[in-house]
Amino acid sequence: MLEQIRGGLVVSCQAPDGHPLRDPGAIALLARCAELGGAAGLRINSAGDIRAVRRSATLPVIGLHKIPYAHRHLITPTLDLARDLVAAGAAMVAVDLTRESPADAAFVSAVRELVPVMADVSTLGEGLAAWDAGAAVVGTTLSGYTAAQLPTPDDPDLALVAALAGRGVRVVAEGRYRTGEQVRRAFEAGAWAVVVGGAITDPVAITARLTTATPAATR
């Protein structure tokens, strides 16, 4: 899978509870659209959605399972959840390796016995620790979302991408990537791959962002 996503775009196809697209069939359609658009891989939340996606798309899947935690979600915090994702068809499993997560090096080792691990981190220190623990790739996914980093900035953390890549880490840029220029800059900073989610797969968020530029938004 590492070679399949190298230098490519991974599309995160997710929808939270209460969202109009919160249906496995809808997620599968989004995944198929991403594949037709040239994506190199997919990032899918929950075993149920992965099974639906695998029926309509052929791209490799980074699986995860979000669990509510304080102001955000923890990502795949237990081995049972990781096993479910692999059984559903995930070729890689994303795990939360921030300081807010209970996961540690031993957890990474256990998941690695199933599939390669994508470590979702928020800082350089967390990323280096995840790499040393054996993560196949380190994602900047959670930069700006931990309690210590709130409020979340608008732009992606390109500095973290560059810092990790500069230390020899195979880094996946993720978090607030919305434009082709931002994606290009992430690869220039040393990214192995780039993950884009809501900017592609969430029409509610896309519409809300664009309507702020209209005169009607001030009324």
For 36-66, the pLDDT digits (tens) are: 999 999 999 999 999 999 999 999 999 999 9
> Residue 115's pLDDT is what?
98
**C-beta of residue 196 within 8 angstroms of C-beta of residue 177:** yes
Condensed to tens digits (0 to 9), the pLDDT of residues 170-210 reads: 999 999 999 999 999 999 999 999 999 999 999 999 999 99
Question: What is the total residue count of the chain?
Answer: 219
Mean pLDDT of the 72-82 span: 97
Q: How confident is the model at residue 219 (pLDDT cuts 50, 70, 90)?
A: confident
Neighbours of 89 (CB within 10 A): 16
CA angle 96, 188, 131 (to 5 degrees): 30
Domain ranges of the chain: 2-218
Q: How confident is the model at residue 218 (pLDDT cuts 50, 70, 90)?
A: confident
Give pTM, 2 decimals. Answer: 0.96
Condensed to tens digits (0 to 9), the pLDDT of residues 102-135 reads: 999 999 999 999 999 999 999 999 999 999 999 9
Q: What is the CATH number that goes with domain 2-218?
A: 3.20.20.70
Distances (CA, A) of 204 to 11, 18, 35, 96, 122: 17, 12, 21, 26, 26
